[in-house]
Structure 1
Amino acid sequence: MRPSRLAARERAAKRAPARRTVSASALVMATTLAALMVHTTPAGATDLLQLYSEAQNRDALIASARSAYLANIEALPQARAALLPQVTARWGAVNTHYGSGNVSNTFVSSGYGLTLTQPIFHWDSWQSYQQGKLTVASAEASFAQAEQDLILRVATAYFDVLAAQDDLALAGTHKQAIAEQLASAKRNFEVGNATIVDANEAQASFDQATAQEIAAQNTLDVRRAAFARIVGHPVGSLATLRAGATLPSPQPNNVADWVAQAEQANYAVQLQTLTLETARRETSKAKSGYMPSVDLVAAGAHSNVGNANSLLTSSMSSPSSQGSGPSSAGQIGIQISIPIFSGGAVQSKMRQTLALEDKAMTDLDDARRLAVFNARQSYLGVSSGLAQVKALEAAEQSAQSSVASNKLGYQVGIRINADVLNAEDKLFTTRRDLAKARYSTLLSSLQLKASAATLVDTDLQLLNALLTENPEASAAMAGAREATPASAGAGLPARGVRPGITAPPMRR
């Protein structure tokens, strides 16, 4: 029977639908998810989407990645500036004192000038401009990868907390069952129907169950603290995985398709591809040490020179001694600079850039291999996880039957207390493994999409539809579950544009 408090909460939920704050992307998908969310999450528990929305605004890593993105995209306008006209203005004033014999005079000169330089041919500047484009593309890919990583970190932390809650609840249930068996063993010993060995074995199992419960509580506290680091505040009650929820299977259900997608679209592969292209541009830029540079130069100047002091002797009062008047000058022309010898710096730079280019090619090959490995591993994690969940559900039913049979056998005297304790341990272990297998399968499905660079907010929304508030969720883990056959999950979308980020084109 459910507590009256839960019943009152459900009645209140029927009268006034719960309000939830979700991200902008969640609002876009609200209509689609309405049909999926058969079991809604009342206001008493925080669901996956709510915490993800908070993490987007409060997580330090995504905030750092956002700032890094904004900083790195400035590389393009800075590189473009070297191709645009450079205008310089100058102004100056000089006070000159002249003295010779009995003649002393002071001249004040001032002037201003303007110089315009338009680069016509600078091979290194052009290559730097192309590298600026690559830097922007790398910044976009890095930020998209950080967004994808945030989804994984939030989902992992969320399901880690749920798994720890299940472990704690199962440990408490297991401890209670052992306590009942201990009490029974003591009663049987007191009336002479059992030996002290049964009571001692039950006491040892009870002590071990108590230690397991303490460890489970510690694990839950640690995982809640880890989750709080991401969302920026302590997490309260969480919506739990609905009993009998159908776990999604990978679509397409073919590892070769996921591997092919990951080999080309994985963000680590994209970043290494851009790094290789940047290294090639750096090698081309190093060749500018052999090339001339051409500039269009235009300049204009105006100066004033005057005699600021009367002559000390009348004999020097000639017109030429009164200083010259204002003057102006202008010029325009082509300036060509040809490098002749740089002490071997150009050759050394070429050797360096070629070595870095080889390194980038090797790193790209390794990134592709790692992407393929991650895709295969995640795909196997989903497919084997679904099979494992099904097998553990059958094992749970068998373990429950074993416990009941051993208890009955102990009562009639054909089983000993150790048999009952072993059966209880197997049931506890099976239920714990089943809970972990369900969460691990869901996380593997997200990791599979991340390996192919197709993980987006919508995937969290689909998982959120599997959650519901249930204060007795852990107790449900101890009860019979419905079968969870594989269903059609989210497919493998074509590589496109992430929200707010333009995916960089692949380069070969």
Structure 2
Amino acid sequence: MPAPLSVGVGLAALALAGGLFPAHAQTTQDLLQIWNAARQRDPIYAAARAQSRAEQEKIPQARARLLPYITAGGAAEVDNTRRLQNLQHGSTDTRGLWNLTLTQPIVNLGDWDRLKQSEFIARSAELGARQAHQELILRVAQAYFDVLAAQDALRTLQAQKQAVAAQLQAAKKGFELGSTTIADTYEAQSRLDLLNASELQAHNAVQVSQDQLAKIINEPPGQLAGLNAKTRLPPPRPGNLGDWTAQASQANLAVARARLAAKVSEKQIDIAKSGHAPTLSLYAQTGSTSDRGIYGVQNGPRSLDTTVGLQLSIPIYSGGEVSSQVREQTSRLQQARYELEAAKRQAVQSTQQYFSGVTSGLAQIEALLAAEKSSLASLNANRTGYEIGVRVNIDVLNAQQQLYETRRALFRARYDTLMHSLRLKASSGILNESDIVAVNRLLETGRGAADTRPGLNPTLDD
């Protein structure tokens, strides 16, 4: 089995500004706290666990068909007899009776097959609960990082607004001094107006992402811990894609459930074939009738009748129903095997996708870090050129826009790469709660927001 993928993050750790959170938020929540709340409150996960518990009961139900069972019965009768000619002369008798019957199946191939099938169903239900557990990990992590990404985007827009506002003031001052034209002021004002519109949209994105997380934990999230600024995501380990795809084709939970579904279908064929097989049962019955004595009807003391014997049932002809059921279940087995093959291919394809997502994401992060550095250098150069008159206002505005768009892309790429690494482990069937704990160690509470003003970039010194 391939070694688990080591998860790391290289994201500027941005503590969340007070204005971005609901008024009730007082303390910082980390990913582990959010996970613990989701595990207890998420209805989708709770429903999957309840379904798993329900499916476990199929085993004792199937076993019960092989164990002895006892039935009791009783009746009270009134027997009225009259002469047919004039319906006058007649008699009325009353009778009470009871019986107790024990039946023990001895040979019933269908019930033994049902017991084995129920074990496959229960194992599949256990895998379903594990699958729901993995999906909850992914949903919680995705919702958590979506909130952080939305807040990063909003914070970056706000910093960009400040930079554009400062450029607008410089343009106005230059126009008053006669060193620039009014066009510089209009350009900066239009860019600021666009940012105001984008900020409104970013505020809405923050609220939507927080609502999505609240739906999982059943309460509005508080201030969320950010990711450590200097942590770097390592490449997937092992670094060989073939190891990951081999693991996924065997250990992927969807593949394992599809494999069990095929076994369930195989047993269903055996159950259908058992319709042609004889059954043998031991039965013992005891009972009494109120009007029957040991010397005959209403003659002497009441009797207790006891019977013990074997009952053999041999099916001969059922109108072709059993043969039809066998053909039906044979087709369903073929369906299950095709679905197993489809699940294997999907697992391999997903593993390839997420493996590529991690490796290409790491390369994208490095490229964006270089782009951020060069964009910052370009902005500083354009500002200096604007101050000495060799650059125009639109050059500075464009350089600002490029820098902040690069930063927003960098933030998103880090979160996406981390999610790809978690999904890669899920696709290989090895994602568990320890991965939440590992990611949570990368979070820092109480960290101030990274300063996104031009000229101040802590990531350049890493």
Q: TM-score, normalised by structure 1?
A: 0.81
Aligned partner of 2:451 among 459, 475, 484: 475
Aligned to 1:448: 424
* 209-218 or 294-303: bigger deviation: 294-303
Aligned to 1:140: 126
Task: Tell me the amino acid that sits aligned with residue 50 of structure 1.
Answer: Q
Aligned to 1:87: 70
* Matched-pair contact (CA < 8 Å) for 2:140–2:216: yes
* Matched-pair contact (CA < 8 Å) for 2:56–2:122: yes
Over 3 Å counting, the alpha-carbon distance change for 1:134 and 1:450 in structure 2 is same
Aligned to 1:63: 46
- State the shift of 1:484 in Å: 11
Over 3 Å counting, the alpha-carbon distance change for 1:375 and 1:102 in structure 2 is closer
The secondary structure found in structure 2 opposite 1:473 is coil
Task: Tell me the amino acid that sits aligned with residue 113 of structure 1.
Answer: N
Aligned to 1:195: 181
Aligned to 1:343: 319
Aligned to 1:326: 302
Cα distance between partner residues in 2 of 1:423 and 1:165: 23
Aligned to 2:231: 245
- State the shift of 1:191 in Å: 2.2
* Matched-pair contact (CA < 8 Å) for 1:304–1:325: no
Corresponding position: 1:394 with 2:370: yes
- State the shift of 1:98 in Å: 3.9
Aligned partner of 1:439 among 409, 412, 415: 415
The secondary structure found in structure 1 opposite 2:451 is helix
Q: Deviations over 1:271-320 (max 9, x none)?
A: 1000001011111111112211111122122222179xxxxxxxxxxx99
Aligned to 2:384: 408
Aligned partner of 2:80 among 97, 116, 131: 97
The secondary structure found in structure 1 opposite 2:29 is coil
Aligned to 2:150: 164
Aligned partner of 1:272 among 258, 266, 269: 258
Task: Tell me the amino acid that sits aligned with residue 439 of structure 2.
Answer: L
* Matched-pair contact (CA < 8 Å) for 1:112–1:301: yes
Q: Deviations over 1:69-123 (max 9, x none)?
A: 1111111111111111121111222233344587654323222211111112222
Aligned to 1:212: 198
5+ residue gaps, structure 1, are 1-38, 308-318, 486-508
- State the shift of 1:125 in Å: 1.1
Cα distance between partner residues in 2 of 1:354 and 1:144: 29
* Matched-pair contact (CA < 8 Å) for 1:244–1:481: no
Over 3 Å counting, the alpha-carbon distance change for 1:331 and 1:48 in structure 2 is same
Cα distance between partner residues in 1 of 2:208 and 2:453: 22
Corresponding position: 1:375 with 2:351: yes
Aligned to 1:231: 217
* 283-292 or 323-332: bigger deviation: 323-332
- State the shift of 1:345 in Å: 1.1
Aligned to 2:160: 174
* Matched-pair contact (CA < 8 Å) for 1:79–1:128: yes
Cα distance between partner residues in 2 of 1:238 and 1:321: 88
Aligned to 2:55: 72
Cα distance between partner residues in 2 of 1:419 and 1:140: 61
- State the shift of 1:476 in Å: 6.0
Cα distance between partner residues in 2 of 1:115 and 1:306: 19
Cα distance between partner residues in 2 of 1:401 and 1:394: 11
Over 3 Å counting, the alpha-carbon distance change for 1:332 and 1:375 in structure 2 is same
Task: Tell me the amino acid that sits aligned with residue 292 of structure 1.
Answer: P
- State the shift of 1:174 in Å: 0.6
Over 3 Å counting, the alpha-carbon distance change for 1:472 and 1:163 in structure 2 is same
Over 3 Å counting, the alpha-carbon distance change for 1:476 and 1:470 in structure 2 is farther
Cα distance between partner residues in 2 of 1:148 and 1:227: 17
* Matched-pair contact (CA < 8 Å) for 1:119–1:294: yes
- State the shift of 1:328 in Å: 2.1
* 331-340 or 265-274: bigger deviation: 331-340
Aligned to 1:497: none
* Matched-pair contact (CA < 8 Å) for 2:451–2:457: no
- State the shift of 1:207 in Å: 1.1
* 279-288 or 268-277: bigger deviation: 279-288
The secondary structure found in structure 2 opposite 1:270 is helix
Aligned to 1:5: none
- State the shift of 1:156 in Å: 0.4
Cα distance between partner residues in 2 of 1:477 and 1:133: 62
The secondary structure found in structure 2 opposite 1:120 is strand
Cα distance between partner residues in 2 of 1:345 and 1:473: 72
- State the shift of 1:217 in Å: 0.7
* Matched-pair contact (CA < 8 Å) for 1:296–1:333: yes
- State the shift of 1:264 in Å: 0.3
Aligned partner of 1:49 among 32, 35, 45: 32
The secondary structure found in structure 1 opposite 2:224 is coil
Aligned to 1:8: none
Cα distance between partner residues in 1 of 2:387 and 2:128: 65
Cα distance between partner residues in 1 of 2:381 and 2:391: 9
* Matched-pair contact (CA < 8 Å) for 2:351–2:427: yes
Aligned partner of 2:284 among 298, 322, 327: 298
Aligned-pair identity (%)? 41
Aligned residues: 434
* 461-470 or 431-440: bigger deviation: 461-470
Corresponding position: 1:262 with 2:248: yes
* Matched-pair contact (CA < 8 Å) for 1:228–1:235: yes
Cα distance between partner residues in 1 of 2:64 and 2:77: 34
Task: Tell me the amino acid that sits aligned with residue 445 of structure 2.
Answer: E
The secondary structure found in structure 2 opposite 1:110 is strand
The secondary structure found in structure 1 opposite 2:304 is strand
- State the shift of 1:324 in Å: 6.0
Task: Tell me the amino acid that sits aligned with residue 358 of structure 1.
Answer: Q
Task: Tell me the amino acid that sits aligned with residue 386 of structure 2.
Answer: Y
The secondary structure found in structure 2 opposite 1:249 is coil
Cα distance between partner residues in 2 of 1:138 and 1:476: 50
